Amino acid sequence: MLHGAINGKNLKYKLGSLIVKIVHLTDLALPHIGGMEYVVYRYSTMQREMGHESLVITTKLPNTKRRETRSGVPYYRFSKVGLSILPLSLLKKVKPDIVHTHSYIAALTLSYFSKINSEIPILRHIHDVYIGKYKEYSGWESSAMYEKFEKFAITLHYDGYITPSQYTRRKLIELGLQPSRIYVVPPGIDLERFGKSDSAYVRKKYRIPKDKKIIGFVGRLSTGKGPQDLIEAAKNLDAYIVIVGPNPDPKTSGIRGIKDDLQRMVRKYGMEKRVIFAGKIRDEEIPLFYDSFDIFCLPSISEGFGMSIGEALASGKPVVSYNITAIPEIVKDGQNGFLVKPKDIESLKDRLEILLNNEDIYKKISANARKSVMNYTWENSLKRLMKVYSLYLS
């Protein structure tokens, strides 16, 4: 459901004949890997393809240029300090029709801009809310200061707010934001990419025996995503564990990587021969990995939507995850996967074991997996987003 005064308009992508200039402002963008980064990439690229003038303003990463083009979209990169103070002068120069910000770094500046310049609407996209769980999510002991900043930044004034799930919307309402100005726009899933291969890629690449099942994980190697819980739950299971994802760099993401901790766990439990750290893989390999998994497990403590979960379901794989945050909106317990109480390692192990050993249950849940996400297309997501834009451009 799309919240706000849409009035049932069946608007076209281009808002009728109106072509608009859209600025996406984000703390991180490709080539940095993450759900938010991919959302920015997909929206800005599709908007360009439709004839709109979309551009991305973000921070400069190693081996990137100050100005570059990705899939036809201009990217302007600044230091973190620059991103925090430049938007005022830059937006006055660019003169966008609408600003779609995903940024915390520029939050205060953009909120101020929205108050002094009512001609340019600014919509704030909150991808997740980490208040109360940032310590565990990030892996850092000193999290209280960040949580205070997050609450301050979220509750700043903007013209409207976008969330990827009903869960995130509820969190914003709890923080005091006006419900009528919060719009739920789930991201899309590249359905056409998944479930198309022979499912043998990973087995061949790592020489995994044909009689062994594969439990897959895709996500950054951080405490918040839960790879440590998967290893703990699977230590006595007869299956291979394939862990895909980068070890995050705290300098860019603010999140502590735990690859060394995970490798110590693997050695402690004698799992060296059946736990594979695939690291950061090539984009064209992503669907091949998902297709090769028998089961997908993401014991994450916080998901604003759960992009990797959606991609696993699109590959027809049953998902085992925690019953927390937005995950129950996409994983239905006993239908397309299993949900367990957060940090209940024994229950996590139990559900994985059921899928490994009970062929009837496995087939039933697998058959529902892809069907459960067929409406999550990028086309549908963009239509919803452009409807929200229309409220502020009329």
Mean pLDDT of the chain: 91
Tell me, what's the pLDDT at 136? 59
Q: Does position 137 have pLDDT exceeding 70, yes or no?
A: no
CA 278 centroid distance within chain: 20
Phi-psi label, residue 29: left if phi above 0, alpha if psi -120 to 50, beta otherwise: beta
How large a percentage of the chain has pLDDT more than 90? 80
Strand order in the sheet with 98-101: 67-70, 73-78, 53-59, 21-25, 98-101, 122-125, 160-163, 182-184
Tokens at 159, concatenated? 């013209």
* Residue-wise pLDDT tens digits, 26-82: 999 999 888 899 999 999 999 999 999 999 999 999 899 999 999 999 999 999 999
Distances 75 to 1, 37, 59, 79 between C-alpha atoms, Å: 32, 13, 10, 13
Distance CA 139, CA 133 (A): 10
pLDDT given at position 60: 94
Q: What is the pLDDT of residues 357-369, one digit of tens each?
A: 999 999 999 999 9
* Residues 125/102, Cβ–Cβ less than 8 Å: yes
Domains and CATH numbers, the chain: 21-188+377-393 (3.40.50.2000), 191-373 (3.40.50.2000)
Say how many C-beta atoms besides its own lie within 10 A of residue 367's C-beta.
12
Q: What is the pLDDT of residue 15?
A: 62
138 — pLDDT class (breaks 50, 70, 90): low
Q: Indicate if the pLDDT at residue 384 is higher than 60.
A: yes
Q: Residue 229 has what pLDDT?
A: 98
Using pLDDT thresholds of 50, 70 and 90, give the confidence band for residue 1. very low
User: Is residue 7 scored above 50 in pLDDT?
Assistant: no
pLDDT > 70? residue 233: yes
User: What pLDDT score does 249 carry?
Assistant: 83
What pLDDT, on the 0 to 100 scale, is given for residue 389?
97
- The arithmetic mean of pLDDT across residues 183-187, rounded, is 98
pLDDT of residue 19: 86
Higher pLDDT, 292 or 144: 292
* 135 band by pLDDT with thresholds 50, 70 and 90: low
Q: DSSP letters of 101-144?
A: E--STTHHHHHHHHHH-TTS-EEEE-----TTTHHHHH--S--H
- Tell me what percent of the residues of the chain surpass a pLDDT of 70: 92
Judging by DSSP bridges, how do beta strands 122-125 and 337-340 pair with one another? Answer: unpaired
Q: What is the mean pLDDT of residues 235-263?
A: 91
User: Average pLDDT for residues 14-22, to the nearest whole number?
Assistant: 75
Average pLDDT over residues 21-26: 96
Selection from 248, 215, 163 nearest residue 321 by Cα: 215
> Is pLDDT of 5 > 60?
no
CA dist., res. 354 & res. 25, Å (int):
44
Q: What pLDDT, in 10s, does the model give residues 139-168?
A: 555 557 777 888 899 999 999 999 999 999
